[in-house]
């Protein structure tokens, strides 16, 4: 699985109705994914690539796209090199957390 994660390192709450709604939606999606993974049957083998963390910004702010792609490549390669392919592991980056 390739989850997109959620903005976990914003210094202030989102500003505006759309920004708040999208931030809440990303948190809801992440929590639902964790819930489903925690309750998946033991006969299902799955792998979850950790999302970017820390992540700042809004889901509709594409000004950081190049940086996010570069970071995603670097962190995913490090995850693979560090024996990240552990079946059934839920990355801590998906859990609610703060920086």
Give the pLDDT confidence score for residue 62 in this predicted structure. 87
The predicted-structure confidence for 40-58, as pLDDT tens digits, reads as follows 998 999 999 999 988 888 7
Could you give the 3-state DSSP secondary structure of residue 71? helix
Q: What is the domain range of residue 84?
A: 17-94
Q: Hey, what are 32's tokens?
A: 């639902």
> Is residue 51 in some structural domain?
yes
Which pTM does this prediction carry? 0.80
> Is residue 11 in some structural domain?
no
Overall residue count recorded for the chain in this entry: 99
Residue 72 to residue 50: CA distance in whole angstroms? 9
Number of domains in the chain: 1
Neighbours of 65 (CB within 10 A): 9
> Is residue 99 in some structural domain?
no
């Amino acid at each position: 699985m390739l989850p997109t994660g959620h903005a976990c390192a914003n210094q202030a709450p989102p500003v505006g109705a759309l920004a708040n709604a999208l931030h809440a939606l990303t948190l809801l999606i992440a929590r639902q994914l964790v819930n489903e993974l925690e309750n998946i049957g033991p006969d299902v083998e799955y792998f979850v690539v950790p999302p970017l963390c820390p992540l700042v910004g809004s889901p509709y702010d594409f000004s950081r796209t190049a940086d996010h792609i570069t970071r995603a490549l670097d962190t995913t390669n490090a995850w693979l090199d560090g024996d990240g392919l552990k079946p059934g592991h839920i990355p801590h980056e998906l859990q609610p957390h703060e920086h």
